[in-house]
Structure 1
Amino acid sequence: MGRLEQLRDPSSWRRAFVLVRRFRQEPGTANLRRFDPLVEAVRRERAALPGLGEEALLERARSAATADLADDGDLVGLLAVASEVARRRLGLEPFGVQLSAAVSMLRERVVDMATGEGKTLVGFLVAAGLAATGRRVHVLSANDYLAGRDARAGAPLFAAFGLSCAAVVDGMDHAARHAAYRSDVVYATVHQVGFDLLRDRQRPADAQRLVPELDAAVIDEIDAVLLDDAMVPLVLAGDAEPRPEGAPLAGVVAAMTAGVEYEVDGEGRNVSLLEAGIRALEEHFGVDDLYAEDQVGLLTAAHVALHAQALVHRDVHYIVADGQVRLINDARGRVADRQRWPDGLHAAIERKEGIAVTAQAEVLDQMLVETVARGYRVVTGMSGTALEASERLAEDLHLRTGTIPTNRPGIRVDERDRLYLTAERRDAAAAGRVQAAHEAGQPVLIGTASVADSERFAGLLAARGVAAVVLNAKNDAAEAEIIARAGEHGAVTVSTQMAGRGVDIRLGPRAAEAGGLLVLGLGRYDSARLDHQLRGRAGRQGDPGRSVFYTSLDDDVVTEHLIIGLDPRSVDPDGRINDKRFRQVYEHAQRVAEGKLLQLHRTTRRYHTATDQHRRLVLTTREALLADPAALEDYLTRIWPAGSDEPRRWTRPARRSLAVEVALYHLDRAWARHLNLLAELREGIHLRVLGRQDPLEEFNLIATDDFRTLAHEAAAATRDTLAAASEDAATLADLGLRRPSSTWTYMVADNPFGSEADRFFEFIGRALRGDRPPAISYT
């Protein structure tokens, strides 16, 4: 295998890449070598500490409360002590590269650190440094399992500094959560923190706040949290009135045939009704014109049902388990806990699968994951693929990213992609490669794009006599056990992207001699960053290893983004393409995919920008009513005519608390009504493009106009309720008011069908080329 077929030190090209980006003054990168003198000073000071007695060491640790992390001397002293405490209490002695990462993060940089280089210990050191100097620290982990594990593992180190530590995970009641958030260091997912913030924003006057004011965040796998999950809306919902049954519509749509009543576009991302489909709906529901203004609700519901039927696929976008539709996180390949699509689409899929439709939800409040992250005063983090995300992190959160070298030289071999004409030929070649590696005793990890792909490829291997363990969203509870054995001699593991985060694959006996772990990707992901995560499973801490991607022109990353109107010039008998142009086309398709993801990210943010501003105004009023006694009198004075005695009546000590409850109730109800209006608007706003309107502009106009009425609506309802209240009324129930009897949280998977911008540019492209097929065009 020649030099063009492999890149031997994967860390070297990454370091060179950073230097080139800095030379070109590209945004987001940082030179972490500037902190090398501090790292050397930490190592020198730490060298004198092993002979220090336990009490003396603890005294030095607890004196860190007076340290200033902006002062070089204080930072060096604190990390030296923390390193010695880690050695004694955790049995972990930091390497120089781990100290370099800790120094950089304590100076508010993001670090790119390869898999297996000890990011967990780095997190302990950084969290201890921030908390010891008086900050409230949240360490945001990838999942509940890691949050609980790391909180337990790091507790002895934090205790040496006089710091408390706790984890916030699913299943904890309000009291336990309240106590955990009062710890100096809190381990949790960003979703847990976000949901609890939403609960706080709906709390009544007599309830304690769960989450103290956000201060410092240390984010593990920072690119996954702030890029992959950033635009996920976190929702607090309450029970709502049942909506009309949609089964008749689902039945009509299920009976439709592709190419007759509807058509799916070439990339499989958009679906539209044909004349026969329109007639079928009009005849079934007895309407003259499905596109008439008074039928917009039926038209929207029909499009949602059609999307569910034709575009959302079982074992690709979701699985069905325990009688429930459970979404799959594309970036991680695992079940997305408590995640659902907007009510209309989710219910349509449940009807499609013939399972019970879940309770209709009324949105009480919601916010994006990114909004949670922006709430912290200090943000730092680490990841094995932060470098590729540096520009986005700089753009979104003004964070600068640098790379940390590996502790030992990397010897993993990254082979050039093997590109095939079809997915069938790609899979045959990949299965042959896996079989040969297995027979040689080399452990193999195969990365696939979906549950269906993982099961299908495992079947191909079984036909060749290769028994593979499958890891996907259907058995994610067994992840730790499966991954623990993936590096054993001769092991074969077929996995979705879920095997790419938060776990190490250690080589078993004889596995290194067989060549170390072979990572084989079946097709590339829409983001090169996810490909690099998969590659990073091999070659940890200087282990031998190899990675290669088997790709084809049938891969989604190509078919969903490009139309290729030319043939390769050189193809082997087994279907392998040797035409350099086509390797470039494939890479270009992935860049197009990444561009679309970025555009969707920005579009989603624009849809939420106005709502976030409106929420801040509502919360300002709400918090003032909760905390400031004078705020109630001012509020009531404004809602009654001048000279009215009612404000004085309701600000008396005996009546004040009920008046606050009533004002909060109506403010919350008005806000919930506003959000539910926007949720319904989002489901059908794309249809505005049919009238040559900009959906985003129309959405923001409607949202802003409706918000202008919200304060007046809440004030009028508060005035009417209090004016009609009897003197013996003491609770909301006495006034005939009821908050939702139950609430729950979930995440919304945003529009999975692409953006209106995609369709617009496709239309323009056809117009410019006069419907002549180009060599390569965009979908």
Structure 2
Amino acid sequence: MREPKRTGDRAPWWRRPLDWVGRLRQDPGTTNLRRYAQLIDSIDEERAPLRMVSDGELDGHIVGTGSVSLSSDAAVVRFLAVASEVSHRRLGLDPFRVQLLAAVNMLRGRVVDMATGEGKTLVGFLVAAGLARSGRRVHVLSANDYLAGRDAAAGAPLFTSFGLSCAAVVDGMSEAERVAAYRADIVYATVHQVGFDLLRDRQRTPTSKRLVPDLDAAVVDEIDAVLLDDAMVPLVIAGDADPIPEDAALTGIIASLTVDEDYTIGEGHRSVSFTEAGVTRVEAGLGVDDLYAQEHVDLLTAAHVALHAQALVERDVHYLVADGKVRLINDTRGRVADRQRWPDGLHAAIERKEGLEVSQQAEILDQMLVETVARGYRSITGMSGTAFEAAERLSEDLNLRTGVVPTNHPCIRRDLPDRLFVTAEQRDTAAAEAVREAHASGQPVLVGTSSVADSERFASLLTDLGVDASVLNAKNDAAEAEIIAHAGEYGAVTVSTQMAGRGVDIRLGPGAAEAGGLLVLGVGRYDSARLDRQLRGRSGRQGDPGVSVFYTSIEDEVVTEQLRVGYEPRSVSAEGRISDSKFLRLYEHAQRVAEGKLLQLHRTTRNYHKTTDRHRQMILDTRERILGDPEALDDYLAQVWSYESEKAAEWGSPDKRDLAVEAVLYQLDRAWTGHLNRLAATREGIHLRVLGRQNPLDEFNRIAIEDFLALGAESITEVRDTLEEAPDDATSLADLGLRRPSSTWTYLVTDNPFGSEADRIVAFLGKVVRRNRPPSISYT
């Protein structure tokens, strides 16, 4: 997609025909948001007399807005005129015309691309209030708990002026507090919090309250981060399970192995395998004759997982250790991923590798994707500083239309072309020298890096040059606000991971603008151009001067993990800088390949979850009917005892109904858990069906449907056996010999970051298909 014109109200004459063609074709991101510009004039006209009224008279106008009809231009104009004046008086914020334009479009269901520093938070207040005044239950989905709590408190004066209640749902709240918060007109939360509470609701019993009312309207701040970056992350509710026995010596044996002698690491650092010598050493260490014998299958699996943790998962890159726990790092945000873990086997192996106490083993009771939560809302709108790059995905995944609003002041930031080098060492040397020169002139600098380790390493390079830099990464994210508050000061240097790319507004200090404004310097590009633009967007807010540039190398992971280049650049300076335009295009091509792989992974993941989502909804509907409709229990018991109506009547009697409901829900939940586990095992090997000329997805769906049909019969049989064996005086599940988990908890599962065996087979097949590629470039 072509980058839109954002820096003024009028595009250059030569771009206008391209814009018209794009809109005519309805290209993603080209939705014309200015069609409502005349409404902004009407809002200004209607607000003008309100500036002169007293607070009491303004309250009368608030009442006069009544229930807002979003389909009526006049009602939307009247509401936003009053809301603008209320915002001015209660919040001290006067909406710009571009903010009102964004609000109008979002109230009409569009997604808005707004540049950094243009006031998305205030737009969110206006849109949430407008939706709530129209009778909708509104969830404002934020990128993290901190932003949810902050924005709920900041917007409360505006909301209460319109008679609307507001609350935030964050970690640490009790069940009663959550129930109360979700009953507010406007709820601020992360999509993870909402998803986890939906999973809790799906485990509820007759004695527990429902947390989340039916999902209605969602306003998503940083919509691409919330609904795309994490869209395919499974949200999990788990119960306590028996610990898995593990050979205590295995971790030490694996740690003693030598790369290239005992094991080899595959290309792209995504796979690892034992050599014959390595297998012999493991067998000797464990005291077994044949590690591949049937009786040692579990031990062999544990050895492979331990090797994976030892050789491929890097501390301070993929995770860090804090407070005696392994804490994962979110690749797209550079922050610690709260409550996120790898599947139990890999996570436990890393804990053993680090000498930590192995966390409690879990049995997954239910799980669903973040995207499944989003699809549960009746309507979604949102905004982001990088929504344009995500427009195609938002259209395909959620059927949302996206457009770009102009900035309030023209953006005068200079985006310089990349400085491409042969090696990463040459790149870092040149980048550090550029930072030193900018610092010497007083220009503030923000350096973007890809990992915690890289941020600390680059800060060390700057120290060697006599430059004192503040470091912002997942290890000290609690100090983010303080560090960012000083990042725009004269002469300041800040080295950060991608965490400085969201919810950050860097203001220039005295003298910083005269020194050239904020210099954003990226050390290597990310896998997505959208993340690059997030970093660039830290500079040049509200018409401030600024500069952005990326220092890159052909040793960057974005290149080496996608391509193997078999020829040398023609033009290389003494410092290692490449001026060969072919290599500059090659780097951009590698980034597009990485984005394409991620998109295909998301599509595949979604396709594999569609059937499961439908089945989950059917189970949920059955649960809800049994919980709330007496006739539903009678119908179910009639199926349990289809030929013994007196038995069904006995358990449907008033003195036994409650226990019957508990037993039915328990067996439905156990059957569903078993179904999920069987599907997980099926998917691990489903890719092998391609060798038999079968479509893996079709085969998976066939197996899923067959297993789900068996699930119904399985649960009915279990209910019948349980109740028929029940003691006469039974009143609880414990009396039936059943036990729900004594504790449950929620977390996110991060899939294997190095790809499954299926991914590698797909990559291999892709190489075969691409025989027409130039021999000088091959694809990994």
Do they superpose with TM above 0.5? yes
User: Corresponding residue for 1:486?
Assistant: 487
* CA displacement 1:332-381 (0-9 Å, x = unmatched): 00000000011111111111212111100011111111001000001000
1:239/1:561 CA distance change after superposition, 3 Å = same
Cα distance in 1 for residues equivalent to 2:685 and 2:8: 47
Contact kept? 2:443, 2:492, Cα under 8 Å? yes
User: Corresponding residue for 1:344?
Assistant: 345
Cα distance in 2 for residues equivalent to 1:353 and 1:695: 38
Q: Which amino acid aligns with 1:662?
A: A
Contact kept? 2:265, 2:273, Cα under 8 Å? yes
Contact kept? 2:8, 2:406, Cα under 8 Å? no
User: Corresponding residue for 1:604?
Assistant: 605
2:125 pairs with 1:124:
yes
Contact kept? 2:237, 2:746, Cα under 8 Å? yes
Q: Which amino acid aligns with 2:464?
A: A
Cα distance in 2 for residues equivalent to 1:504 and 1:374: 30
Cα distance in 1 for residues equivalent to 2:770 and 2:373: 45
User: Corresponding residue for 1:39?
Assistant: 40
Structure 1 range deviating more: 664-673 or 494-503: 664-673
1:115/1:483 CA distance change after superposition, 3 Å = same
User: Corresponding residue for 1:89?
Assistant: 90
2:650 pairs with 1:674:
no
Unaligned segments of structure 1, at least 5 residues: 1-6
2:434 pairs with 1:439:
no
1:777/1:528 CA distance change after superposition, 3 Å = same
1:681/1:752 CA distance change after superposition, 3 Å = farther
Cα distance in 1 for residues equivalent to 2:389 and 2:9: 13
Contact kept? 1:300, 1:683, Cα under 8 Å? no
Q: Which amino acid aligns with 1:228?
A: D
Cα distance in 1 for residues equivalent to 2:520 and 2:727: 72
Cα distance in 1 for residues equivalent to 2:6 and 2:632: 66
User: Corresponding residue for 2:23?
Assistant: 22
The sequence identity of aligned pairs, in percent, is 69
User: Corresponding residue for 1:528?
Assistant: 529
* CA displacement 1:49-91 (0-9 Å, x = unmatched): 1123323322332344432101111111111111111011111
Cα distance in 2 for residues equivalent to 1:755 and 1:25: 37
1:197/1:769 CA distance change after superposition, 3 Å = closer
User: Corresponding residue for 1:146?
Assistant: 147
1:620/1:772 CA distance change after superposition, 3 Å = closer
User: Corresponding residue for 1:476?
Assistant: 477
User: Corresponding residue for 1:241?
Assistant: 242
RMSD of Structure 2 on Structure 1 (CA): 2.5
For the residue of structure 1 that corresponds to 2:390, the secondary structure is helix
How far did 1:606 drift? 2.2
Cα distance in 2 for residues equivalent to 1:452 and 1:695: 39
For the residue of structure 1 that corresponds to 2:594, the secondary structure is helix
How far did 1:21 drift? 3.6
User: Corresponding residue for 1:567?
Assistant: 568
1:769/1:91 CA distance change after superposition, 3 Å = closer
For the residue of structure 1 that corresponds to 2:103, the secondary structure is helix
How far did 1:44 drift? 1.3
- What TM-score, normalized to structure 1? 0.94
* CA displacement 1:227-254 (0-9 Å, x = unmatched): 1010110101110111121544434433
Q: Which amino acid aligns with 1:363?
A: I
Contact kept? 1:64, 1:133, Cα under 8 Å? no
Q: Which amino acid aligns with 2:652?
A: T
* Mapping for residues 221-370 of structure 1, pairs under 5 Å: 221-281=222-282, 297-370=298-371
Cα distance in 1 for residues equivalent to 2:654 and 2:767: 71
User: Corresponding residue for 1:724?
Assistant: 725
Cα distance in 2 for residues equivalent to 1:89 and 1:762: 57
Structure 1 range deviating more: 409-418 or 309-318: 309-318
1:728/1:772 CA distance change after superposition, 3 Å = closer
Cα distance in 2 for residues equivalent to 1:8 and 1:225: 23
Contact kept? 1:65, 1:134, Cα under 8 Å? no
* CA displacement 1:545-575 (0-9 Å, x = unmatched): 1100000011000000010101111111111
How far did 1:584 drift? 0.2
Q: Which amino acid aligns with 1:482?
A: I
User: Corresponding residue for 2:629?
Assistant: 628
For the residue of structure 2 that corresponds to 1:653, the secondary structure is coil
1:486/1:259 CA distance change after superposition, 3 Å = same
Cα distance in 1 for residues equivalent to 2:24 and 2:136: 35
Cα distance in 2 for residues equivalent to 1:274 and 1:690: 26
User: Corresponding residue for 1:518?
Assistant: 519
1:28/1:300 CA distance change after superposition, 3 Å = farther
How far did 1:460 drift? 0.2
Cα distance in 2 for residues equivalent to 1:623 and 1:218: 27
Contact kept? 1:8, 1:411, Cα under 8 Å? no
* CA displacement 1:393-427 (0-9 Å, x = unmatched): 00000000000100001100100000000010000
User: Corresponding residue for 1:542?
Assistant: 543
Cα distance in 2 for residues equivalent to 1:212 and 1:273: 52
Q: Which amino acid aligns with 1:133?
A: S
1:707/1:231 CA distance change after superposition, 3 Å = same
Contact kept? 1:362, 1:676, Cα under 8 Å? no
Contact kept? 2:103, 2:123, Cα under 8 Å? yes
Cα distance in 2 for residues equivalent to 1:603 and 1:547: 35
For the residue of structure 2 that corresponds to 1:612, the secondary structure is helix
1:587/1:695 CA distance change after superposition, 3 Å = same
Structure 1 range deviating more: 704-713 or 587-596: 704-713
Cα distance in 1 for residues equivalent to 2:185 and 2:728: 46
1:254/1:88 CA distance change after superposition, 3 Å = same
Structure 1 range deviating more: 614-623 or 454-463: 614-623
Contact kept? 1:141, 1:220, Cα under 8 Å? yes
* CA displacement 1:675-715 (0-9 Å, x = unmatched): 23444555666687899987655654544443232222221
Unaligned segments of structure 2, at least 5 residues: none
Cα distance in 2 for residues equivalent to 1:29 and 1:755: 37
1:64/1:378 CA distance change after superposition, 3 Å = farther
User: Corresponding residue for 1:4?
Assistant: none
Contact kept? 2:139, 2:219, Cα under 8 Å? yes
How far did 1:770 drift? 9.4
How far did 1:762 drift? 4.7
Cα distance in 2 for residues equivalent to 1:116 and 1:298: 54
Cα distance in 2 for residues equivalent to 1:695 and 1:344: 25
Contact kept? 2:6, 2:407, Cα under 8 Å? no
User: Corresponding residue for 2:210?
Assistant: 209
Q: Which amino acid aligns with 1:55?
A: G
Cα distance in 1 for residues equivalent to 2:708 and 2:550: 51
- What TM-score, normalized to structure 2? 0.94
Contact kept? 1:625, 1:631, Cα under 8 Å? yes
* Mapping for residues 382-531 of structure 1, pairs under 5 Å: 382-531=383-532
User: Corresponding residue for 2:78?
Assistant: 77
For the residue of structure 1 that corresponds to 2:549, the secondary structure is strand
How far did 1:287 drift? 7.2
Q: Which amino acid aligns with 1:417?
A: D
Cα distance in 1 for residues equivalent to 2:460 and 2:25: 48
Contact kept? 1:18, 1:402, Cα under 8 Å? no
Cα distance in 2 for residues equivalent to 1:770 and 1:528: 27
Q: Which amino acid aligns with 1:526?
A: D
Contact kept? 1:8, 1:413, Cα under 8 Å? no
1:370/1:768 CA distance change after superposition, 3 Å = closer
Cα distance in 1 for residues equivalent to 2:381 and 2:309: 39
1:671/1:148 CA distance change after superposition, 3 Å = same
Cα distance in 2 for residues equivalent to 1:693 and 1:222: 37
The alignment of Structure 1 onto Structure 2 pairs a total of residues equal to 773
How far did 1:768 drift? 7.6
Cα distance in 2 for residues equivalent to 1:19 and 1:463: 53
Cα distance in 1 for residues equivalent to 2:206 and 2:673: 18
Contact kept? 2:68, 2:130, Cα under 8 Å? no
User: Corresponding residue for 2:166?
Assistant: 165
Q: Which amino acid aligns with 1:574?
A: E
Cα distance in 2 for residues equivalent to 1:685 and 1:324: 34
Cα distance in 1 for residues equivalent to 2:759 and 2:366: 30
* Mapping for residues 666-745 of structure 1, pairs under 5 Å: 666-680=667-681, 696=697, 699-745=700-746
